[in-house]
Amino acid sequence: MKIPRVLNRKNRILLAELTATDFKLRYQGSVLGYLWALLRPLMMFAILYVVFAKLLRFGGDIPHYPVYLLTGITMWSFFTECTSQGIQAMVVRGDLIRKISFPKYIVVVSATLTAVINMLINLVVVVIFALINGVTPSWTWLLVPFSLLELYALSLGISFLLGAINVKYRDITSIWDVCIQALFYAVPIIYPISLVAESSVLAAKIILLNPIAQAIQDIRHNLITTETITTWNFIENPAVRIIPIALIIIILIRAAFYFRKKSKFFAEEI
């Protein structure tokens, strides 16, 4: 897959046009329109905040816990939106794939890019909340994009792999919905990882080897408070520490090749 061919002029134009269309159409016919891109995670946040911070009193000793929670939720919804849109993309754009020839990855990338745009808007809200909450800006903020990229690479890998299978076996969509539910509790979003570490250090370490957990904890660490437990400061063995990143790279590369191999037959199978 030569880079210049993959990202040639024609493909870039198509990618931009499809992404713009997706974004335009997403909130078609709703009164508040694009505002929903902001309102949805905020409302999610409000519910979880009331339940977990006020009623269950999680995160007692974590500074800036509300922002900490909001960051986690924003990143989690980015991951879920990205993957579910990406996996569905081939089916949603089935009419195009059946009738016209173009590199199929564009469909997946454009669907996930809409999620990226949403996430970036939400990130602005997170930063504003952080400043209101008294978080002081620091140079580590500059490291956040790397974690975002990591999360995006993982989502893209999953989208390519499962999206390609989903063309033939639509069950994948439902299976992934269940996986998302399970993953939500496997990642320290609503509960602080310190809570797990108190009862079992090993369990906390295993949780932190999940690339999603690693990325989200890194973002919290770099954006909000350095007291956050991350893969880097909790796991001693450097060889084990790189597992999450290695996983992302392997998944993305394998998925991309698998997708490319299968994409020749999408038009017939979809």
Partner 1 sequence: MRQKNLGTRKEIDSKSNIAIEVSNLYKSFKLPTEKASGLKQALFNFFRGVKGYKKQEVLKGISFKVKKGEFVGIVGRNGSGKSTLLKILAGTYYPEKGEVTINGNLIPFIELGVGFNPELTGRENVYLNGALLGFSHKEIDEMYDDIVEFAELKEFMDQKLKNFSSGMQVRLAFSIAIKAQGDILVLDEVLAVGDEAFQDKCNQFFNKIKKDKSKTVILVTHAMENVRQYCDHAILIRDGVIEIDGSPKDVANSYSLENSERYIEDQKDNQPKTSEFIKNLNVKLLSAKKPTQNDSIKIEITYDVTKNINTYLGLSLWDIKRNQSLINSNSKSQICKGKGHKKITFETSPSTINDSNIRVNVSVREKDGSILAYYPDSKSPTVVLRRTDYENMDHKTIDAVLFQRGKFDVKE
Q: Is the CB of 24 or the CB of 254 nearer to partner 1?
A: 24
Q: Kindly state whether residue 102 participates in binding partner 1, applying the rule CB under 8 A.
A: yes
Q: Which of 156, 165, 162 has its CA nearest to residue 265? A: 165
Q: How far is the CB of 29 from partner 1 (least distance, A)?
A: 8
Structure tokens at 143: 């490291």
Q: Which of 71, 49, 65 has its CA nearest to residue 227? A: 65
Q: Is the CB of 97 or the CB of 255 nearer to partner 1?
A: 97
CA distances from 117 to 123, 205, 265 (A): 10, 32, 30
Among 95, 142, 237, 239, contact with partner 1 (rule: CB under 8 A): 95
d(CA 206, CA 209) in angstroms, rounded, equals: 5
Q: How far is the CB of 119 from partner 1 (least distance, A)?
A: 24
Q: Kindly state whether residue 185 participates in binding partner 1, applying the rule CB under 8 A.
A: no
Which residues, numbered 145-184, are part of the site for partner 1 (CB under 8 A)?
168-171
What number of residues does the chain have? Answer: 270
Q: How far is the CB of 227 from partner 1 (least distance, A)?
A: 45
Query: What is the DSSP secondary structure assignment for residue 51, as one 8-state letter?
Result: I
CA distances from 11 to 81, 107, 116, 157, 254 (A): 23, 11, 19, 19, 22
Q: How far is the CB of 107 from partner 1 (least distance, A)?
A: 11
d(CA 224, CA 113) in angstroms, rounded, equals: 26
Tokens 């997706």 sit at which residue? 22
Q: How far is the CB of 92 from partner 1 (least distance, A)?
A: 12
Among 98, 124, 185, 195, contact with partner 1 (rule: CB under 8 A): 98
Q: Is the CB of 61 or the CB of 95 nearer to partner 1?
A: 95
Site string for partner 1, 5-24 (x = CB under 8 A): ----xx--xx-xxx--x--x
Site string for partner 1, 21-50 (x = CB under 8 A): x--xx--xx---------------------
CA distances from 182 to 25, 72, 157, 185 (A): 30, 16, 19, 6
Q: Which residues bind partner 1 (CB under 8 A)?
A: 9-10, 13-14, 16-18, 21, 24-25, 28-29, 95-102, 168-171, 264-265, 267-268
